[in-house]
Amino acid sequence: DISRLNNQSESIDDMVETIRKFAMQTRLIALNAAIEAARAGASGRSFAVVAAEVRNLAASVSSATEEIEQVVASNSQLAKDVLCGIENSLMNTREGVTLMREAGEVMTSIQRNAAGVETA
C-alpha cells in the first residue's frame, strides 16, 4: 500500500527529528564538557579528549541523520509519483472502458442497421 508507505515515511521523519534533537543535546553536553575541562586545566586534559570524542559522535549522528532524511524524502517523493501514476492509469482505464462501451453501442447500432438493410 502506497498510503501505508507514506505513513511509515512520516513516522521515520518523526524519529529522525528525535535523533536530531539528541545530537544537538549531545553537542551541547560536549561543549559544556570542553568548557569544564578547560577550567580544570592540566587535570582536565583527559576529560577534554572525552569531550572531543562526544562532539565527534554528535557530528557523526547529525550527518547520518541528514542522510536518512534525504533517503526518506526521496522515498516519499517516489511513493507520491507512483500514486500519481496509478491514479493516471486508473483514469485512463476508465476512459478506455467508456470508449469501449461507446464503440460497442455503435457496433450494435451498425448491426441493427445492417440487419434492417438485409430485410429490406
Quote the pLDDT of residue 97: 97
pTM of the model: 0.65
CA 58 to chain centre: 24
CATH of domain 2-119: 1.10.287.950
Quote the pLDDT of residue 120: 63
The domain segmentation of the chain, as residue ranges, is: 2-119
- What values do phi and psi take at 79, rounded to 5? -60, -40
In the DSSP assignment, the letter for residue 96 is: H
Residue reference for cell 498510503: 3
**For the chain, what is the total number of helices (H) and then of strands (E)?**
2, 0
C-alpha grid cell, residue 85: 501514476
Q: Percent of the chain having pLDDT more than 90? A: 43
Quote the pLDDT of residue 78: 86
Those residues of the chain that have pLDDT short of 70 are 120
Quote the pLDDT of residue 117: 82
